[in-house]
A and B are shown apart, each in its own frame.
Chain A
Amino acid sequence: MSGTFIGMPAFPVAAREALDNAQQRRNLQHATQTIRDKRAAVVDEVDRWEELRVAGAAIKDHVLTHLDGYLVQLEESLTRAGATVHWARDAEEANRIVTALARETGTDEVVKVKSMTTQEIGLNEALEDAGIHAWETDLAELIVQLGRDRPSHILVPAIHRNRAEIREIFLREMGKVGTPAPEGLTSAPHELAESARRHLREKFLRAKVAISGANFAVAETGTLVVVESEGNGRMCLTLPETLISVVGIEKVLPTVADLDVFLKLLPRSSTGERMNPYTSTWTGVTPGDGPQQVHVVLLDNGRSDALADHVGRQALRCIRCSACLNVCPVYERVGGHAYGSVYPGPIGAVLNPQLRGTESPVDKSLPYASSLCGACFDVCPVRIEIPDLLVHLRTRVVDEKRGGLPSGEQLAMKGASWMFAEHTRWERAQRGAELGGRVLGKKDSIGRLPGPLSAWSDARDAPIPPGESFRTWWKRERGQG
């Protein structure tokens, strides 16, 4: 599917490497803590936040279970408003459509609004292959692109980088592709931002084609919505002659009125602000204002597969706010790269295996990349039950492996289930533990263990079973039940 992130190792392997990167861990911990606190403060300000969450989930569930109808309505509205609608079954088809549209204009460069969907399909790489430069214009995306890096967070893709690293990247790379960073650039964030402004301004003023995603697409009117902070989005959506928006089919909202819920939920959940600096809405072509060639590519790329799963479907409610990343203890330590996708963190762990299937080692391991602590559900603005979904996907991974030569884990689970299914078998097993406990005697714990158990005992002492189980004690003290 996606051209990026192929050949990623399973999550635990990538996680171990990430945990060793102390600088990145410090950057992540600081950033996630900051944004977590900001979110909590602005969410507390809202009366009946829970009611909004319920409304957001209900609107999305309604759209998703009527998606066929709403997509047709969206297409009609867009066409009426002067836009051209394209349908893309997968990443390859979407990239082909966008590349052809860009080529038709005769341009060799496009400016891009930060868009998860175009990253998901690997559009930049496809455009580069066709000889078209795709300039990322969001500051964090620019940092990632110039640093030949991968995004590691949905909202703040360069969250794993600190200011000193960013300064180095700007000084080294900007001059190679345009206006260089000023000499004497310090690592003060306002100087780095100013440097990005100067670097990108010439590209904004020159660009003939822009590419965006959309946060929402209103079926009633054909209105697309982009929520952003820096104004790079407005530049792209306003100045070029041609605008191509790649929109996942799950982004549809029925009516303009539905925006009231989502424009309250999204900024507070995402950046921890009452409102993000800029939100742009546009409806096809506006004569005399902005792009006069407007294209919308509706993208499936695995979404209809997720839709077919009656439990998994709720992951399509996601509005990409990234609140779940910021509260996740696993993400906070490991960072985004270990998830092997542009969608990291808890939502990535449930979205990727649904969009991409569970063939690859990383997609098989993602549902297990969680301690099921549940912090993600509590902050999700559309109430996606991520822990339940993780368990659901674990079951899918396990069931897909059934039928072949059983693994050690499968044998252990089957054996344990057989044992627990009858209390007399369980009691026999328990007597073995009691015996072990009496043999180990006075020691209060076990140090290092061999084989697979070393995963536990490398850092943690293990408890010793007592000489007498509760059940044996109860029988002795209280008789047979």
Chain B
Amino acid sequence: MIGSRQEMLGRITAALDGAERAPAPGRRHGAVTSSPDVAALFVERVEDYRAVVERVAPAGVAAAVADALAGTGQVVVPPGLPRDWLAADGVDVVTDDGGLAADDLDRIDAVVTAAAVGVATTGTIVLDHGPDQGRRALSLVPDLHVCVVHESQLVGDVPESITRLRDAVVGGRPLTWISGPSATSDIELERVEGVHGPRRLHVLLVSDGDSTPRARA
């Protein structure tokens, strides 16, 4: 083992003997897409993936969550999810305490999480699996993922999102970037939504102000 390590590093050093060592490039890559209306772009791009996306006022989150969950059975939520998002009646909620096995999660229909960042240009939500998002399996095994994103969490494009997420990565947290429902194009390049991950993705984009009534886009 040690032998292999030494040998590989030795081969690499030998391979680079006399090579021109390319300098580290500067950090201004490509363009950061600036949209006059990041929220509108985000909605448009999430819809492109055939996910459901709605714009709601802060006071309307609980009702929107309840609507999104209509007709489903049990719902799992991470321990740090704001309780007032689940204030509506008729939702059978299990809070994850880390004890649910994969089999248990497979019997649960839906999950509600928050998000860390939303990327407008690509229509992506990013989870850094903090307390309001939970461990990775929660947002993977159940078939419906309802994800609540705040407008203040939106950025224009991928480079800005990396800037925001860097601390979480350096802190050792995993990230999950989600762009629409699970999909495949493996059969004749025809896109099919829904393979192994949640087949339905329902994004609720919460406006920053809290005085406006709940309005759907």
Chains A, B in direct contact (C-beta < 8 Å):
yes
- Shortest beta-carbon distance from A255 to chain B in Å: 9
Q: Judging by beta carbons under 8 Å apart, are B12 and A304 in contact?
A: yes
Q: Give chain A interface residues in 221-272, CB to chain B under 8 Å.
A: 221, 223, 229-232, 234-235, 237-239, 249, 254, 256-257, 259-261, 263-264, 271
CA distance A243 to B210 in the complex (A): 44
Q: Judging by beta carbons under 8 Å apart, are A197 and B195 in contact?
A: yes
Render B109-151 as a binary contact track against A, CB cut-off 8 A, 1 for contact.
0000000000101111000010000011100110000000000
Q: Judging by beta carbons under 8 Å apart, are A274 and B123 in contact?
A: yes
**B189: interface (CB < 8 Å):** yes
Residue tally, chain A, CB below 8 Å to B: 98
**A347: interface (CB < 8 Å):** no
Q: Judging by beta carbons under 8 Å apart, are A31 and B175 in contact?
A: no
Render A46-69 as a binary contact track against B, CB cut-off 8 A, 1 for contact.
111101100100110110111110
Enumerate chain A residues within 8 angstroms of B27, measured Cβ to Cβ.
Answer: 257
Q: Judging by beta carbons under 8 Å apart, are A277 and B182 in contact?
A: yes
Known: A271-B185, A289-B129. A230 touches B197 (CB 8 A): yes
Enumerate chain B residues within 8 angstroms of A310, measured Cβ to Cβ.
Answer: 19
CA distance A275 to B158 in the complex (A): 10
Interface centre among A162, A235, A264 (most CB of B within 10 A): A264
Stretch from B29-37, B52-60, B66-74, B84-92 at the A interface: B29-37
Enumerate chain B residues within 8 angstroms of A304, measured Cβ to Cβ.
Answer: 8, 11-12, 14-15
Enumerate chain B residues within 8 angstroms of A87, measured Cβ to Cβ.
Answer: 1, 4-5, 8
**A282: interface (CB < 8 Å):** yes
CA distance A283 to B129 in the complex (A): 13
**B83: interface (CB < 8 Å):** no
Q: Judging by beta carbons under 8 Å apart, are B186 and A158 in contact?
A: yes
CA distance A34 to B185 in the complex (A): 11
Enumerate chain A residues within 8 angstroms of B165, measured Cβ to Cβ.
Answer: 256
Q: Judging by beta carbons under 8 Å apart, are B102 and A68 in contact?
A: no
Render A9-46 as a binary contact track against B, CB cut-off 8 A, 1 for contact.
00000000000000000010011001100000000001
**A279: interface (CB < 8 Å):** yes
**Of A231, A281, A288, which is within 8 A of B182 by CB?**
A231
**B212: interface (CB < 8 Å):** no
Known: A65-B21, A280-B174. A257 touches B196 (CB 8 A): no
Stretch from A187-195, A370-378, A399-407, A465-473 at the B interface: A187-195
CA distance A62 to B16 in the complex (A): 12
Known: A65-B20, A232-B195, A307-B12. A49 touches B181 (CB 8 A): no
Using A260-B162, A286-B173, A300-B11 as known contacts, list a sample of 11 further A-B pairs with CB atoms less than 8 Å apart, ordered by residue number in A. Answer: A67-B12, A138-B186, A193-B194, A194-B194, A201-B106, A234-B140, A274-B121, A278-B177, A290-B174, A307-B12, A307-B15
A interface with B by C-beta (< 8 Å): 27, 30-31, 34-35, 46-49, 51-52, 55, 58-59, 61-62, 64-68, 71-72, 81, 86-89, 93, 137-140, 143, 156, 158-159, 162-163, 166, 189-190, 192-194, 196-197, 200-201, 204-205, 218, 220-221, 223, 229-232, 234-235, 237-239, 249, 254, 256-257, 259-261, 263-264, 271, 273-284, 286, 288-290, 298, 300, 304-305, 307-308, 310, 313
12 contacts across the A-B interface (CB closer than 8 A): A62-B23, A193-B195, A205-B103, A229-B183, A232-B196, A238-B136, A260-B158, A271-B185, A276-B179, A283-B173, A286-B172, A300-B11
